[in-house]
Structure 1
């Protein structure tokens, strides 16, 4: 088959992080099948390049029309279905091309679910575009009968249906895959008081303010000096969120973006992974930490409970006070800590192992799992 992967951004040699997870999928598909995969990035640039042996074209909606008309693809795989893509894909020439569409979140959820970012200067612009996006998405669902939608969690599907005000009748749930070889299990019994936080600090979605508040509460405990805390990330909130804990000798701040290999190394050196959230369709960084055997302290909201059974595979909390209490309790309970660590690894192997996920996705692409 000849397959087009359509998305809104893709890695380049000088910018390797944009939708890197899409590239990871494409590389695995190419290595596992004889199908021909090409990538088109819909933007305002006109460019073509090869990235890591994958052929990529960038261009406008008009160029996308030309590519679809001339190259005769058997199927289109879409990550982040935007309203600009929809304008092209609903045209009579292209509407009958079979499509598999991954729904990741921002393209299918109402701006009202991001109120926590309202202080952001660009929020009003985002809200306007979001209303347009949801309108087009609903129209797409009304006219296109040849698409299969992929959601990473049941929560993601339910809220997308509510916000778009339409049903995804032809859909499947397939979580994002976790590389359980890269994020391999190591016993954590000697690392119970070593706490790791790796988060973007550019959105309130990631609850870095709540995490740092929990650590500030922990600093008031008499045995706080027994803990070793590493906070890693970058973004506009980094200095603000870490201000009240930055002067402690046992708190290390690293203001940078990490590669997956660097993340795995930090996993091997720590025992507790702090990852509260205000909204998450899965929690990939949380799942990676679970795969490595860290005890995750996360939030009891959105899709998180679909991947963590509370007090069995991790600790799910409501607020900073709960997080602080959970850290104190689990770091002083050898048996529970070890059990949760091992159960977390087992859960990710069963639910999110990358090899299994790739196999499921390829079956879907081949038409065997509709």
Structure 2
């Protein structure tokens, strides 16, 4: 099977973190014998290889020419956005797929079907006019065109299937667009590499919490909530380390100081390569997946695979992956008052710690990337076979 993967961004040697979850899928497809070529809409043309996967950056209309020669059995689409910039606008690509009813898996990860004003209100700051303009552009212009595209797919094609990474994001998309997507969709979670993220006993490091988050104080990744929660923990032997990159390190450090938590909350200004995250996990005993919005929580699931009991918030898709007191612990949405109680339970009760760690590992194994990508390949093959009989 030959597949053209079209995505808004892709890892490169200069930008190794761009949509890494797409690349890890592609690597697994290739291991199973699928031929993969990646196309990225761009204002200029550039060709390169990463991990033996060929990538072409070129204007959207040139990508249409590439996929129109019939050499690909299926198209996989990830985070291909509509844009007022014609060189990167996904519109012509969607139009070609719809018009020719090409077998297609349209992956929906979250942001492409969500209103910023509802899912990420903390990212909109009236003190920063660009954030307001971005929200208006996304919520009114981009989502309107996305709704038109999805409606046309439902009404005018047989051979495009939607793949949602969680049930919650499917329901959110249906609510946003006022469409019934269930008959044309599947839920297949982002896969976790449970060989890369291997289980280890972390009990001895249970006093050390880890959060891998972009260094942005408020908004989706909820660094402020993590700080608020830790500031309520009175045991000064318990610490939290936040590792990530971002523009607001100074604001975060000031916020930590205001909460008088500088001695127990540490910030490491560093990008972690995906292959380096298991090593980071090995130095900590609990993973704190602070969040205001997650359509899955991949970094949380990776920590679960590594044997770190996780603490997160009961919001969005998190409860699909974390069952409170079974494979992790949940705080109520944006309410960290129970943090001291949860921490005390984990630190003082070895049975609870191991039960949650083992439950988390079991959850990660159930969505191992070898299993999830096999589901995606089978769905694509069934779509290709169906197309031949219509």
1:329 counterpart (331, 345, 349): 345
The answer for the alignment partner of 2:85 in structure 1 is none
How far, CA to CA, are the matches of 1:38 and 1:171 in structure 2?
24
Task: Give the superposition deviation at 1:100.
Answer: 0.3
1:310 counterpart (314, 324, 328): 324
The answer for the alignment partner of 1:268 in structure 2 is 282
Task: Give the superposition deviation at 1:205.
Answer: 0.1
The answer for the alignment partner of 1:153 in structure 2 is 166
Label 1:243 to 1:262 Cα distance change in 2 as closer, same or farther (>3 A). Answer: farther
The answer for the alignment partner of 2:363 in structure 1 is 347
The answer for the alignment partner of 2:149 in structure 1 is 140
In the superposition, the TM-score normalised over structure 1's length comes to: 0.92
Number of matched pairs? 364
Deviations 1:75-113 (A, max 9, x none): 110001322223332248854111101101111111222
Q: Is the contact made by 2:166 and 2:187 (CA closer than 8 Å) also made in structure 1?
A: yes
Consecutive unaligned residues in structure 2, runs of 5 or more: 83-88
Consecutive unaligned residues in structure 1, runs of 5 or more: none
1:171 counterpart (169, 176, 185): 185
Task: Give the superposition deviation at 1:170.
Answer: 0.6
The answer for the alignment partner of 2:108 in structure 1 is 103
Label 1:227 to 1:94 Cα distance change in 2 as closer, same or farther (>3 A). Answer: same
* 2:360 is equivalent to residue 366 of structure 1: no
Label 1:94 to 1:74 Cα distance change in 2 as closer, same or farther (>3 A). Answer: farther
In the superposition, the TM-score normalised over structure 2's length comes to: 0.87
How far, CA to CA, are the matches of 1:53 and 1:353 in structure 2?
22
Alignment of 1:218-297 (within 5 A): 218=233, 221=234, 223-224=235-236, 226-243=237-254, 245=256, 248-297=262-311
How far, CA to CA, are the matches of 2:59 and 2:342 in structure 1?
50
Label 1:355 to 1:91 Cα distance change in 2 as closer, same or farther (>3 A). Answer: closer
The answer for the alignment partner of 1:61 in structure 2 is 60
* 2:318 is equivalent to residue 299 of structure 1: no
Deviations 1:181-235 (A, max 9, x none): 11111112222211112111236101110001111222xx2x31x2243221121
Label 1:17 to 1:316 Cα distance change in 2 as closer, same or farther (>3 A). Answer: same
How far, CA to CA, are the matches of 2:337 and 2:196 in structure 1?
33
The answer for the alignment partner of 1:209 in structure 2 is 224
Label 1:7 to 1:215 Cα distance change in 2 as closer, same or farther (>3 A). Answer: same
How far, CA to CA, are the matches of 2:36 and 2:97 in structure 1?
24
